A and B are shown apart, each in its own frame.
Chain A
Amino acid sequence: MAEQALSGWKKWLEGSGDQVIFLKGFFRNMFRGGFEWSEFVRQCYEIGYKSFTLVGVTAFIMGLVLALQLRPTLVSFGAESMLPRTLAISIIREIGPVITALICAGKIASGIGAELGSMKVTEQIDAMDVSGANPMQYLVVTRILATTFMVPLLTLLGDVIGLAGGFLAININGKVTLMLYYSKCIDSIGFSDLLPAFIKTIFFGFVIGFIGCYKGYNSNKGTESVGISANSAVVAASLWIFVIDAIVVQVSNIIIY
């Protein structure tokens, strides 16, 4: 039993060490000349544009359901007019970034993990490496930077669409104009709401790309490993999203309030 626990810890420590080395490799290759712009743009398209529909639909439903759930409680306190403000703060500060990041972890981290995993299994990464090309720069740097850049943008769009879902929910039971609804939402959001939310989406994007690339790039040989890489990328990225969320909320509360 103790031996098993010890071997588990050893494995965990080795894995952490590998991740640190991989992270170092990412930063070293990011600042090396010959940045792969065309691949970066292609990845932004694949990661950002192709995830937009999924993020948009989910955000709209999330805003709608949130408004429908909140309304009865606020009505019972006679605070129905607070609904746009409550919706805006909860979507901008917490629900928008976290739900968008979790969707991206499911779609993007697994996609990157599976893609790089299958490239590893079919020796494509080895072929790049042994030819003298730089697979870290071509495959890893571009994907991590693309997720770091696109997840905040997707979150921003998701927030706006989520608020639109809330607008629809409010109008099912009452009548509010779009201008009034959005002006109330915007009035209630301050710099202290936007900045921490924006900063955490950058970290979310980075961790989604990093975990996806790390799991795929270090995949074992064999087709089974591709599935394992994709699966473990989603699990690890989702877990990291919650850890980062907790840390950013704590740190921003200390700094801002």
Chain B
Amino acid sequence: MEDKETIEELKQPSSKKKEVVIHIKGLKKAFGEKEVLKNINLDVHRGENVVILGKSGTGKSVTIECIAGMLAPDEGEVKVFGDEVAGMTEKQLKELRTKIGFLFQSGALYDSMTVRENLEFPLKRVLKVRDQAEIDSRIEEALDGVGLMDAIEKMPSELSGGMRKRLGLARTLIVKPEIMLYDEPTTGLDPVTSREISQLILKMQKKYKTTSIIITHDMECAEITADRVVVMNDGEYIAEGSFEDIKRSKDEFVRSFF
């Protein structure tokens, strides 16, 4: 009950709609014969948490990979901060990526580096921070935020699944991105840890004031984090609204998630 109140409190200020930071129009993407994205249209506003729900293999991850410039769309436009991602030069794309955080499903931790080195990596190479005192203070702040201060000298292989997700989140957020893209952040975790991670996502979003897209098929994660839910099936968006709206949907496919 207490958790529920905290979540409601955290979600409150996000309801104000602001400028569009991610604009997707008529996005199409195919791999060989398989058309993964058929016609995607989506606007994400500053400070908003959008959850994309859908079965595995329906193109959810492909959508955020197009936003981060990891994949080029076949047709349509993907604009981030008003700039077309597909038309960017390598330098522009690199600049954009410093403003985007991408949390991979696996966490993608650098397994030859300690927790500290994992966090130092983006600070030194992306933000070019040279002052060791500043690096240390930012690492402490990031680890404190995700409750991993005790694991600072550990290797990723020594961490549990939940701790790995927390570290992945800390590493992504340490550069203070304006946009966060989460690829199934709670997959493979037990229900209790999943809930903790979902609450952490919401807490971090409020702390760093990020705009987020969360790909998931975990309904509890969607309920906790979403300002708006988009349901995807067969490469298209079939429903959109608040979590409660989606819950009340009469569509058979949408209902199958509840």
Contacts and interface: CB of A to CB of B under 8 A. Distances in A.
Contact of B108 (A34, A123, A134): A123
Interface stretch (A99-107, A125-133, A202-210, A228-236): A125-133
Contact of B104 (A34, A126, A134, A138): A126
B109 interface: yes
B122 A131 contact: yes
A127 B104 CA distance: 8
B126 interface: yes
Interface in B100-122: 100-102, 104-106, 108-111, 121-122
A129 B101 CA distance: 11
Given A132-B126, A133-B121, A127 B98 contact: no
A34 B130 CA distance: 12
Contacts of A129: 70, 97
Interface size class of B (residues with CB under 8 A): 20 to 34
Contact of A127 (B95, B102, B175): B102
B94 interface: yes
B226 interface: no
Contacts, number: 50
Interface size class of A (residues with CB under 8 A): 10 to 19
Nearest to B98: A132
A124 B121 CA distance: 12
A124 B98 contact: no
Nearest to A133: B125
A123 B97 contact: no
A171 to B, nearest CB: 45
B94 A124 contact: no
B108 A127 contact: yes
Interface in A109-144: 122-124, 126-134, 138
Nearest to A123: B108
Interface of A: 34, 122-124, 126-134, 138
Interface of B: 68, 70, 94-95, 97-98, 100-102, 104-106, 108-111, 121-122, 125-126, 172, 175
